[in-house]
Amino acid sequence: MAGDDRPPEAAPDEAVPFETPDLYGAYPRLSQAQIAFLAEHGERFRVEPGQVLVREGERCADFLVILNGSIEIVEAHGTPDERVLRVHGPGRFLGELGLLQGQVAFYTARVREPGEVLSLPLDRLRVLVARDPILGDLVLRAYLGRRALLVGAGAGFRILGSRYSPDTRRLREFAARNRLPHRWIDLESDEEAEALLRRFSIPPEETPIVIWRDQRVLRNPSNAELARLIGLSSPSIEEARSDLIIVGSGPAGLAAAVYSASEGLTTDLMDTIATGGQAGTSSLIENYFGFPAGISGSDLAERGELQARKFGARVWVPAEATSLKPEEGAYRVTFAERGDVVAHTVVLATGAKYRRLEVPGIERLEGASVYYAATVYEAQQCSADPVAVVGGGNSAGQAVLFLAKRVPRVHLLVRGPDLAAKMSRYLVDQIERHPRVNVILNSEVREAEGDDVLRAIVVENNRTGERRKLVVRAMFVFIGTQPRTAWLADVVALDDRGFVLTGAAAQARASGTVWEGQGRVCLGLETSLPGVFAAGDVRSGSVKRVASAVGEGAMAIHQVHEHLGHTTVDVARHPDDGR
């Protein structure tokens, strides 16, 4: 129980009745040496029962360590639905991932037994953990684990809406992709839905709604409004200026942000939905260097974002880029609902999205039972029914293995005659051995049947022309990608598929005299505009792998420095960086 995870330094009489045991490393106890190290830079203060240290819905800027007494973590504090989630005693510390990301708290921390607490400003903590990597890793692992537990517990805000509503799906996807603690209440089947609508005097046609702390209701909010509610990012950019704007925060964008910010450039990292990009929807990436047990795309994205923030990068989500324009030796990028950012250089890392499957009957089912990602969010909709996965690449293979742990049967539909043609061998071996997976080669979907949800699909053998019906309740589509470059069509040179040209091919397609007077040729990742670079899946000719995207993101920053070295601009600096 409470004492099982106590380090040797902790005194045996410090046990707290009812204390929550450590769960998967989410609730470790600091050693006496670590507490002494932190105490040199913090302040101690007494706490009394009932005292609130962290309040749900408000930001907390301090790292709090329990020295004596106990603290309980409460959801829905002060309401009839109040419940205690955790109890912590001496040596434990408070907070979760939102503390590091500047979000509001999704819980209330209330004193249970009197004692003493150590407080450190978050900025000071960042300096200290940089000096003590073991402590930093302990805190990071705990905060990642706590966020996962909050998400699993359905803490945070509530989304009430119909499973058939596109806006409900939009809000749920935004919350899931950003790993925001929340709970979905289905208008169609949840008994709680009707009671809540009566309570807040909201007719069903005005759903979806977001309910926060039983005090605030947002009616069909935009993603930006929801982000502002929970402090995901600041309300507006107000024409910020920086050395570098990175548009897109998949692996390439995140890597570029880490290297740029760590090398002293003021960096703005922007994304339309969430950090992680397409890779962020991968359930498990097993062939990424340095993670022998594999890592989920969302975990990789979270770690990358925290690393970029640690070095000072500003992360803006959601921020949808709508235009890019040259402006007096710099570039102005306009973002929907946010404003403009002006920077000396730009890295385009907007990635690519999976192509839609164009078959009769599919449009009305997209988002309800036809998906273009396979995460926990989508898997929750079909855990008791057979599903189909369409595609023959690594993303399809990862989705198959992820879903096969959660559904009774997965049919993998591959257009070609060989599963190994486009899929890594390690995935092929696992799929061929899995008892719940049925591989169907030379197959293509011709029709989707179902009015509100998918009931069956018609599959054709593209060699014999024979058709058959598969009874499935969901379909996951991974059939190739198309770049997210619609907003760039008249700005930088694109290839015939819409991917961004770079290097010599880009310079050859550059308009007018844009490259005259540069004193150099177009760099390898540079677009047809000097100082604008492309990295990752959005770049023409790139290798569509996480590792290569990360490498291109890092290499792009090297070339950003080369470009700045050929110009006479004064790079922007953070106001507190001392230069």
Alpha-carbon distance of 63 to 67, in angstroms, equals 13
The values of phi and psi at residue 19, to 5°, are: -70, 140
Please state, in angstroms and rounded to a whole number, the distance separating the CA atoms of residues 542 and 250. Answer: 14
Measured between alpha carbons, how far is 458 from 416 in angstroms, rounded to an integer? 17
Residue 337: CB atoms within 10 Å = 17
Task: Name the strand (E) or helix (H) holding 145.
Answer: helix 133-153
Give 393-419 pLDDT, tens digit per residue. 999 999 999 999 999 999 999 999 999
Within 10 angstroms of residue 490's Cβ, the number of other Cβ atoms is 9
Do residues 78 and 56 make contact, with C-beta atoms less than 8 angstroms apart? no
Stronger pLDDT, 10 or 380, i.e. the higher one: 380
Dist CA 437 CA 564 (whole Å): 52
CATH assignment, 12-153 = 2.60.120.10
Task: Read off the pLDDT of each residue in 226-255 and give the average, rounded to a whole number.
Answer: 84
pLDDT of 392 > 60? The answer is yes
Q: Where in the chain is the domain with CATH 3.40.30.10?
A: 157-230
- What is the location of CATH 2.60.120.10 in the chain? 12-153
What does the pLDDT read at residue 4? Answer: 36
CB neighbours of residue 19 within 10 Å: 23
Contact 157, 232 (CB under 8 A): no
**Is the peptide bond preceding residue 318 cis, with omega within 30 degrees of 0?**
yes
- Tell me the C-alpha distance between 315 and 427, whole Å: 34
Q: Is residue 440 within 8 Å of residue 320, measured between CB atoms?
A: no
- Picking from 329, 271, 289, the residue whose alpha carbon sits closest to that of residue 529 is 329
pLDDT, tens digit, for every residue of 308-348? 998 989 999 999 999 999 998 899 999 987 788 999 999 99
pLDDT, position 473: 93
pLDDT digits (tens, 9 = 90+) for 258-274: 999 999 999 999 999 99
Mean pLDDT of the chain: 89
* pLDDT at residue 198 in the model: 93
Q: Where in the chain is the domain with CATH 3.50.50.60?
A: 240-353+483-565, 363-479
Structure tokens at 102: 């500047």
Distances (CA, A) of 120 to 17, 89, 383: 27, 18, 44
pLDDT at 328: 85
Instruction: Tell me the average pLDDT across 13-35.
Output: 75
The answer, yes or no, to whether residue 10 has pLDDT greater than 60, is no
* Domain 157-230, classified CATH 3.40.50.150, yes or no: no
Are 182 and 137 in contact by the 8 Å Cβ rule? The answer is no
**Nearest CA among 68, 50, 52 for reference residue 60:** 52
Q: Which CATH class is domain 240-353+483-565?
A: alpha beta
Confidence (pLDDT) at 282:
83
Q: How far apart are CA 551 and CA 460, in angstroms?
A: 40
Q: Taking the mean position of all CA atoms in its chain, how far away is CA 516?
A: 41
Instruction: Print burial letters for 76-104: b (CB count within 10 Å at least 16), e (below 16).
Output: ebeeeeeeebbbbbbbbbbbbbbbbbebb
Average pLDDT over residues 47-72: 94
Query: CA nearest 259: which of 315, 321, 304, 319?
Result: 304
Distance from C-alpha of 125 to C-alpha of 40, rounded to nearest angstrom: 12
Residue whose structure tokens are 């397409």: 278
- What pLDDT digit, counting tens, does each position of 354-390 carry? 889 999 989 888 888 899 888 877 887 777 889 999 9
Predicted TM-score (pTM) of this structure:
0.85
CATH 2.30.110.10 at 363-479, yes or no: no
CB half-sphere exposure, 165, CA atoms < 13 A: 21
Q: Give the full edge-to-edge strand order of the sheet including 474-477.
A: 370-371, 474-477, 387-390, 410-413, 437-440
Report residue 139: phi and psi, to 5°.
-65, -45
- Compute the distance between CA of residue 53 and CA of residue 315 in angstroms, rounded to an integer: 27
pLDDT at 283: 78
What are the structure tokens assigned to 160, written together? 């009430």
Distance of alpha carbon 467 from alpha carbon 440, whole angstroms: 12
Q: Is residue 576's pLDDT more than 70?
A: no
CA-angle at 160, arms to 154 and 165, nearest 5°: 120
pLDDT at residue number 485: 95
79 has a pLDDT exceeding 70: yes
Q: Which of 6-15, 76-85, 323-332 has the lowest mean pLDDT?
A: 6-15
Kindly report which listed range (11-20, 103-112, 136-145) carries the lowest average pLDDT score: 11-20
- Give the C-alpha separation, 257 to 341, whole Å: 16
Distance separating alpha carbons of residues 519 and 209, to the nearest angstrom: 56
The neighbour count for residue 318, using CB atoms within 10 Å, is: 23
- Measured in degrees and rounded to the nearest 5, phi and psi for residue 552 equal -65, -35
Three-state DSSP at 39 gives helix
Q: Alpha-carbon distance 262 to 254, whole Å?
A: 12
CA angle 147, 173, 487 (to 5 degrees): 120
Give the DSSP letter string of 375-396.
SHHHHTTSTTS-EEEE-SSHHH
- Residue 6 confidence (pLDDT) above 50: no
Answer whether 485's CB lies under 8 Å from 497's CB: no
Are 130 and 20 in contact by the 8 Å Cβ rule? The answer is no
